[in-house]
Amino acid sequence: MLHYYAPPTYPFPTFTLRISNQPHRRMASYLEQNQERFLSELIDWLRIPSVSADPKFHGDVLRAADYLKARFEEVGLENVELCPTAGNPIVYGEKLIDPSLPTVLVYGHYDVQPADPYELWTSGPFEPVIKDGKIYARGACDDKGQVYMHVKALELMNQEGGVPCNVKVMIEGEEEIGSNNLGIFVRNNKEKLKADVILISDTGMLSNEQPSIEVGLRGLSYHEVEVTGPNRDLHSGLYGGAVANPINVLCKMIASLHDENNHITIPAFYDNVAVLSEQERAELNRVPHSDEEFMQSIGLPATYGEKGYTTVERIGIRPTLDVNGIWGGYTGEGAKTVIASKAYAKISMRLVPNQTSEEITQIFQQHFESIAPAGVTVVVKPHHGGEPVVTPTDSVAYKAAADAMETTFGKRPIPTRGGGSIPIVAMFKSELGLDTVLLGFGLDSDAIHSPNEHYGVFNFLKGIETIPHFYRNYAAAATK
Ligand code: BES
Ligand code: MN
Ligand code: MN
């Protein structure tokens, strides 16, 4: 029998009366006693391959939603339902205790990225195992493991009279494919989703010793490009040198998108990029970061990126352009002498305030088509997008989260600007007028989207322990 969680030894905050600390002590011991069951429930959920990108997993996606719905009901959420969309259902539940109290809307996603390439996993992506204190499975950290912390935090709070404010929980099944249907759902259900703040655990922190809270997410503009040359594949000896080779051309076009300083060359690309003051940049660069450790953690001899910016800035506050995949021609065994008729690539741009995905999508498409040489035709097909966001650090909710982490980690969390994207967050602001707190417990080393994704048992249990503190702090401070 393995025990990961021991009740905390940290001092409870001195500003609360001793008696109000008792519920948290009791919740901590409930967590200790039930940790194995919590883990095995999560593992059962992780067994369901809820891959949203691939239609062959559609049945599994629905099973994962059903599983979560049942767990919602078990922890006493009310009006639990699967809200249908044009795509995967949204799992919704709520606990409304008093209209005069504030309402927290929890968001997360139960869909996961494809597990490919399977051969690089040391154990099956959908056969979760706990190894060296970590749960290995697709979705362990992103985002099923982090969503499940919220479900179990509700169970913990139930041991002590329930939630201290109103709670709505909305977990979608299409985050990894752009959240388009959730966007429609949010727009059409403003009354149902009425709340005071959004709470999300779908991001990371600096380390288990130094907690942090992400206060920025980048936006996204994602495209598939197709370059067409001759009307059929050609013998590369009979035709080579006399026709535009779509693969050569595509590589040249892609290479031209950055200059020698790794600046993006698309005209007007940087026009709306928010420029930080020297003071803000200095502040940002105060986060503990070591390029040495960064390089070592991913096996690199050097960093690489836009000249004039640090690694922290390149990830947090600068827009970027990356090829995510490229294919065409002969890639099988041995050699085949051929000039392919077509070449393809998937190209994404991460956006920062005040760029918009619409603007960037339009200028990328226009530019990429304009640089096509004579002899090929180029088609740019936009995929999903998302807007960048910055969340406030001076709000009641941010402070409630920072105080909660300080209590359970024994260290004040640092605000950081994250490089990833969660497309719905900007819409929560624009459609519902709500700010978000990104109370994430993942680590960059958790290998999300990669083979051998994992989530620390410590992180999972620490999240369950921290979330009730957030509710208590927030309910106390936000109640007028
Ligand atoms: N949870 C991630 C985003 C994330 C991870 C943000 C870590 C900050 C820190 C989310 O599931 C994700 O992967 N988003 C996608 C965007 C989506 C439109 C495919 C991304 O960032 O690529
Ligand atoms: Mn996620
Ligand atoms: Mn993801």
Answer whether residue 50 is part of any domain: yes
Residues with Cβ within 6 A of ligand 1?
142-143, 175-176, 178, 202-204, 214, 217, 220, 384, 386, 418, 420-423
For residues 156 and 161, give the distance between their C-alpha atoms in angstroms, rounded to a whole number: 10
Whether 67 contacts 44, CB under 8 Å: yes
Q: Are strands 212-217 and 129-131 parallel, antiparallel or unpaired?
A: unpaired
153 lies in the same domain as 10:
yes
Which backbone phi and psi does 478 adopt, to 5 degrees? -90, -10
Answer whether residue 311 is part of any domain: no
pLDDT in single tens digits along all 480 residues of the chain: 456 787 776 654 444 444 456 788 899 999 999 999 999 999 999 999 999 999 999 999 999 999 999 999 999 999 999 999 999 999 999 999 999 999 999 999 999 999 999 999 999 999 999 999 999 999 999 999 999 999 999 999 999 999 999 999 999 999 999 999 999 999 999 999 999 999 999 999 999 999 999 999 999 999 999 999 999 999 999 999 999 999 999 999 999 999 999 999 999 999 999 999 999 999 999 999 999 999 999 999 999 999 999 999 999 999 999 999 999 999 999 999 999 999 999 999 999 999 999 999 999 999 999 999 999 999 999 998 999 999 999 999 999 999 999 999 999 999 999 999 999 999 999 999 999 999 999 999 999 999 999 999 999 999 999 999 999 999 999 886
9 lies in the same domain as 111:
yes
The CATH number given to whatever domain includes residue 29 is 3.40.630.10
Q: What's the 422 CA to ligand 1 centre distance in angstroms?
A: 5
474 lies in the same domain as 373:
no
Q: What's the 55 CA to ligand 2 centre distance in angstroms?
A: 19
346 lies in the same domain as 468:
no
Answer whether residue 284 is part of any domain: no
Answer whether residue 312 is part of any domain: no
Whether 391 contacts 199, CB under 8 Å: no
Pick from 175, 384, 390 the residue to mutate for probing ligand 1's pocket: most ligand atoms within 8 Å of its CB. 175
The CATH number given to whatever domain includes residue 255 is 3.30.70.360
Answer whether residue 81 is part of any domain: yes
Of 360, 385, 410, which residue constitutes the final position of a domain?
385
Whether 165 contacts 479, CB under 8 Å: yes
Which backbone phi and psi does 282 adopt, to 5 degrees? -60, -45
User: For atom 18 of ligand 1, which residue has the closest CA?
Assistant: 178
Looking at all shown ligands, the one closest to residue 143's CA atom is 2
Is residue 175 annotated as a catalytic residue, yes or no?
A: yes
Residue 348: predicted pLDDT: 98
20 lies in the same domain as 88:
yes
> Which atom in ligand 1 lies closest to the alpha carbon of residue 176?
19
**Catalytic member of 142, 143, 175, 453:** 175
Residue 20: predicted pLDDT: 52
Neighbours of 3 (CB within 10 A): 9
123 lies in the same domain as 57:
yes
**Cα distances (Å, whole numbers) of residue 228 to 36, 325, 340, 346:** 56, 17, 9, 15
Of 365, 385, 405, which residue constitutes the final position of a domain?
385
Answer whether residue 298 is part of any domain: no
Which backbone phi and psi does 98 adopt, to 5 degrees? -165, 120
Q: What's the 386 CA to ligand 3 centre distance in angstroms?
A: 13
Is residue 394 annotated as a catalytic residue, yes or no?
A: no
Answer whether residue 310 is part of any domain: no
377 lies in the same domain as 255:
yes
Q: What's the 334 CA to ligand 2 centre distance in angstroms?
A: 39
Whether 220 contacts 384, CB under 8 Å: yes
Structure tokens at 251: 């590589």
> Which atom in ligand 1 lies closest to the alpha carbon of residue 178?
18
138: nearest Cα among 52, 70, 56: 52
Answer whether residue 280 is part of any domain: no
Domain count across the chain: 2
Domain that holds residue 264: 219-268+319-385
Of 349, 367, 385, which residue constitutes the final position of a domain?
385
Residue 12: predicted pLDDT: 47
415 lies in the same domain as 444:
yes
407 lies in the same domain as 368:
no
Residue 2: predicted pLDDT: 56
173 lies in the same domain as 263:
no
Residues with Cβ within 5 Å of ion ligand 3?
Answer: 142
196 lies in the same domain as 185:
yes
152 lies in the same domain as 254:
no
